[in-house]
Amino acid sequence: MNDHQPPEQRAFPDALLPRQKEYLMSEITRDRRTSSRRSRSLVLRVGAVGALAVIVLAVLSLSGVFGSNGPLTIDKALAAVTIADGEVLHIKITGVETDGSTFVQENWSYSEEPWKYRGMTESGGGRLQEVAMDGSGLHQVYDARTNSILEMQDETVAGLAEPKVAGESYEKMIRDLLTSGLAQEDGQEQVGGRDAVRIVERRPAQEGEGTENVYLVDAETGRPLEWRIMNEGENRTLHFDIYEKLPGTPENLGLLDLKVAYPGATVYTDPAAFEQALSKAPAE
Amino acid sequence: MREVRGRVPERGHRAGKDFPRNGHYLYVSTYSDRRLWERALEGQAAAFGELFERHATSVYNYLFRRCGNWATAQDLTSIVFLELWRKRTDISLERESALPLLLGVATNVLRNRRRTERRHRAALERMPVPSESWSPHEDVVERLAEEQRMQELLGILGRLPRREQDLVVLCVWMELTYEEAADALCLPVGTVASRLSRAKRRLRGLLDPAGQSAPGVLKT
């Protein structure tokens, strides 16, 4: 049985994919026809959304002509999202979605070996998820309802070159944006009372609406302040409440340890005991 | 200078790029899964088709890793998407990626396979017959070997409680994060962590009772 690994993944058969896709689409169309009244309502909604998106894009396209390239600002912005060895990066973001819902994400990361990571996400429903891990295989999970921590050694974490957390590296996405060749300076505005430089990247779509990124950085330091993403009629704004590089002192490295962050929490090393504690908490 | 590792889970700019996901690359169009899902709910069948195209391979491989048979996994892939569609009014896609949701549906489809197939019988009867260009006999020896190997692994995995099996396959073999697995199975993330830890400990005992080597089944 070799090394107890499952076989490599196979692609869904190419010859079947288009037909299966077409079949699913036809099933959906069939299903939708059975509810014509709802369909009419939805057509109106789609029309309204489309019209709104067109208006938004029209307003944005009239908001000004792109300025000249600003390599100095873009270089400064790039430098701001590049971290030196031995530094702890601390980011806190408040995101606002198209529908007005918000989320808050905060994380600390340390790239020196062994790497360390601590991150939390709070959605609009108040649901909090928090984990911490490091390159030695230490994995912690915090449960706010019971103020308890499960701490365990996990070899699947120890084997990773970097933390495995949901989503993509945000700094990498910023660097991709800044180095895409499409990003240009586009004037200044005030963000939270600070002078900010607008860096705009527009990507036309093959069909339909395109994507526009407005990335605002501190005019003096290049530090990220805000990122407005307009993707095919869907808008998202990320406010950088905190973006700081901290020296890798023992005190700052303690920020990456949930036991230090929650000194009053009960720490479990036995998963069964932790699960039993969770089962006594009120339902989410 | 090192690469920065601050992350924003499931949010951000992904337009028109190939992003790595779980060790392999998927094409990510300018629409997020959530947007596609919304559009599908608004009646745009093509949006659901794009979701299928985007995730069929992952669902297919997840199903294979649960049932150990490529042909069954292929048939059940469509059922998973049909089941997702059937439950659309009960489902709120909060993440940008629909994959955790799909794998959660796939887990339930496998658990209630007969009932689910019966429910979709009429739709399955309309399913197109594979075209002549598709030969299920391609790579037949290799596929059979893979199925045999998978069955052996599932034999070991089957000695765990079902709920722990789910997590080993989702988190270790499919490389979902704890948070994604929690979403897939509608569990608190802490429960995922504790159950998975216990499952790994049991597997370690089953695969390597002497404790002399780290079993590969636990490695990503």
Give the per-residue pLDDT at A279: 79
pLDDT (tens digit per residue) in A200-238: 988 776 555 667 889 999 998 899 999 998 876 678 888
CATH node for B161-220: 1.10.10
Interface test with A, best of B1, B8, B84, B157 (most A CBs within 10 A): B8
Name the band, by pLDDT with cuts 50, 70 and 90, for residue A37: very low
Confirm or reject contact between A82 and chain B (CB < 8 A). Answer: yes
The reply to whether B161-220 shares the fold of B13-128 is no
Mean pLDDT of chain B: 77
Confirm or reject contact between B204 and chain A (CB < 8 A). Answer: no
Alpha-carbon separation of residue A137 from A62, A158, B186 (angstroms): 52, 4, 26
Task: Give which of A188, A191, A209, A211 is closest to A199, Cα–Cα.
Answer: A188
Token duo for residue A100: 């007005």
Confirm or reject contact between B151 and chain A (CB < 8 A). Answer: no
| H helix runs in chain A, sequence order | 17-33, 36-61, 71-80, 155-158, 170-178, 250-253, 258-261, 271-279
CB contact under 8 A, A28 and B77: no
CB contact under 8 A, A111 and B177: no
B59: how many CB neighbours lie within 10 A of its CB? 26
Domain B13-128 indexed as CATH 1.10.1740.10:
yes
Name the band, by pLDDT with cuts 50, 70 and 90, for residue B167: very high
Give the per-residue pLDDT at A123: 67
Give the per-residue pLDDT at A215: 92
Token duo for residue A282: 């009120």
Of residues B120 and B190, which shows the higher confidence score? B190
Q: Please spell the DSSP secondary structure of A192-254, one letter per residue.
A: TTEEEEEEEEEE--SSS--EEEEEEEETTT--EEEEEEEETTEEEEEEEEEEEEEE--HHHHG
Indicate the pairing of strand A266-268 with strand A148-153.
parallel
Contacting residues of A for B11, CB less than 8 Å apart: 95, 103, 105, 167, 236, 238
Give the per-residue pLDDT at B17: 31
| Contacts with B, A 107-166, CB within 8 Å | 107, 109-112, 115, 117, 119, 121, 123, 129, 131, 139, 141, 143, 148, 150, 152, 154-156, 159-160, 162-166
Name the band, by pLDDT with cuts 50, 70 and 90, for residue A154: confident
Please tell me the total number of residues recorded for chain B in this structure. Answer: 220
Task: Give which of B194, B206, B163, B142 is closest to A7, Cα–Cα.
Answer: B142
Give the per-residue pLDDT at A167: 55
Angle at B220 between CA B176 and CA B198, to 5 degrees: 75
Name the band, by pLDDT with cuts 50, 70 and 90, for residue A48: low
pLDDT of residue A70 exceeding 60:
no
pLDDT of residue B22 exceeding 60:
no
Average pLDDT (A133-145) is 85
Cα–Cα dist B96/B32, whole Å: 6
Task: Compare all CA atoms of chain B with the CA of A269 and give the residue at the minimum distance.
Answer: B194
Q: Is B208 exposed, middle or buried, given 0-12, 13-18 or 19+ CB atoms closer than 10 A?
A: middle
pLDDT of residue A79 exceeding 70:
yes
Task: Compare all CA atoms of chain A with the CA of B171 and give the residue at the minimum distance.
Answer: A156
Name the band, by pLDDT with cuts 50, 70 and 90, for residue B199: very high
pLDDT of residue A259 exceeding 70:
yes
Place of tokens 């337009």: B15
* Domains of chain B, residue spans: 13-128, 161-220
| Contacts with A, B 103-122, CB within 8 Å | none
What is the 8-class DSSP label of residue B110? H
| Contacts with A, B 13-42, CB within 8 Å | 13-17, 19, 24, 30-32, 35, 40-42
